[in-house]
Amino acid sequence: MLKELDFTKPTREARYDPEIARTCFESVGDAIYRAKDEPFFTENKPGGNMYLLLEGEVRLCRPERVLDIVRSGEIFGEISAITRNPRTASAIAISPCKALQLDPKQFKKALRDTPEFALMLMSTMINRIRVTSALLVRTGKLAKRLAEAEGRVFSQNVIQEIIATLGNPTPTRISARTIITREIDSARSMYLVLSGRVALSVNEVIIDNVGPGGMIGEIALVDGANRSITTLAESDVTLLPVNRDDFLMMVKSNPHFAVTMLQSVANHLTQMTATCA
C-alpha cells in the first residue's frame, strides 16, 4: 500500500506533459551520458540536479528493493532537487543512457523561460499529496504533526515584493476562532499569512499550523479541485488573499516565487509521506 506513495518515482502522472518538460530542459539544460550500471545519484547524498531521460532506462532503488524504472521522456530526481534534502533513493543506469540535467541555477532560469513547467510540477506533486492524504485518512494515520514553531515559507522581503506586485491591496483581518476555509468548498483564493496563527485540519483532526510568512489554500488553487483542508484562525490573523489569476501571474513573472512555492509543496509531500512510514 505504501508503494503507491513513493515519491522517488519519476514524474508520469496524467498532469505531466512531456513536451513542456522537454522544452524546459532543452532551453538551458546540459546533456549527460551514463554507462550501464553507472549512477546518476546515490541515496542519502545531497540533492542537486534533476533529470529528463532521453534514451535508455534508469533503475530507482534502495538497498532492499527496486522502486521503479524510469523510461524515456520521464523526469526523475526532482523532489530532492527542489527541497535540497538528501536523496531518498539511488538512480542507476540499466543500459547506456542519455539525459538532460538542470542544476539549481539552470532550474530557476528554465522556470523564467517556461513558467508552465512550474505549474505542471506543482500539479503532479499536489496530486500525490491528495493520494497520500486519502490513504492517511483511510488507515487512521492522519495524526497531529505540529512543529514547535511554524516554519516561514516567504521571507519578509519576498512578502513585501508580493504585496507591491499585487498593487498594495488591503489585507483581510480575521478574528480568532473564525473558520477561513472549509473542506469541499471551491477554491477562489489562497492566502498569505501576514500575522497570527492558523490551524489546518482534516476530518476535525488538526494536522498543522501556519504562522507569519506561511500560506494556506494553495493546493486547491493550483489544481482547481475542491478544498481538502479546513483552516481556522487560532488567533486574530491578517491575511493577504491571492486569487488564481494573480497567482498564475506571479508564478510566470517571478521565478523566485515559483521556486518557493515548489519547495513548499515538495516539503509538504515529503512530510506527509514520512507519516506513512
pLDDT at 126 over 50: yes
Question: How many domains in the chain?
Answer: 2
For residue 273, what pLDDT band results from cuts at 50, 70 and 90?
low
CB 61 within 8 A of CB 92: yes
Question: 79 and 31, same structural domain?
Answer: yes
Domain CATH number, residue 79 = 2.60.120.10
Which of 107, 138, 170 is the endpoint of a domain?
Answer: 107
Quote the pLDDT of residue 145: 47
Domain extent for 82: 2-107
Question: 252 and 135, same structural domain?
Answer: yes
| Over residues 28-45, mean pLDDT | 94
Question: 167 and 145, same structural domain?
Answer: yes
Which span out of 96-100, 216-220, 266-270 was modeled with the highest average pLDDT? 96-100
Strands (E), 77-225: 90-93, 97-102, 172-174, 179-181, 189-195, 198-202, 205-210, 215-216
Residue 259 class from Cβ within 10 Å (0-12 exposed, 13-18 middle, 19+ buried)? middle
Which of the pair, 150 or 244, is modelled with greater confidence? Answer: 244
Residue 128, CA distances (Å) to 5, 28, 109, 144, 251 in order: 7, 27, 26, 20, 21
Which of 50, 81, 107 is the endpoint of a domain?
Answer: 107
For residue 52, what pLDDT band results from cuts at 50, 70 and 90?
very high
Which of 107, 141, 170 is the endpoint of a domain?
Answer: 107
Output the CA torsion sign for 147, 153, 159, 165.
negative
Question: 253 and 150, same structural domain?
Answer: yes
Tens digits of residue pLDDT in 152-169: 678 888 888 888 888 899
- The x, y and z cell numbers of residue 102, run together, are 538542470
Which span out of 1-15, 113-127, 192-206 was modeled with the highest average pLDDT? 192-206
Look over the chain and give the mean of its residue pLDDT values, rounded to a whole number.
Answer: 81
Question: 145 and 49, same structural domain?
Answer: no
Question: 123 and 250, same structural domain?
Answer: yes
Quote the pLDDT of residue 220: 72
Question: 251 and 124, same structural domain?
Answer: yes
Quote the pLDDT of residue 275: 58
Residue 251, CA distances (Å) to 200, 222, 246 in order: 24, 11, 9
Which of the pair, 255 or 61, is modelled with greater confidence? Answer: 61
- The x, y and z cell numbers of residue 142, run together, are 492522519
Residue 176, CA distances (Å) to 73, 80, 187, 233 in order: 49, 37, 22, 5
Which span out of 17-21, 83-87, 100-104 was modeled with the highest average pLDDT? 100-104
Question: 265 and 153, same structural domain?
Answer: yes
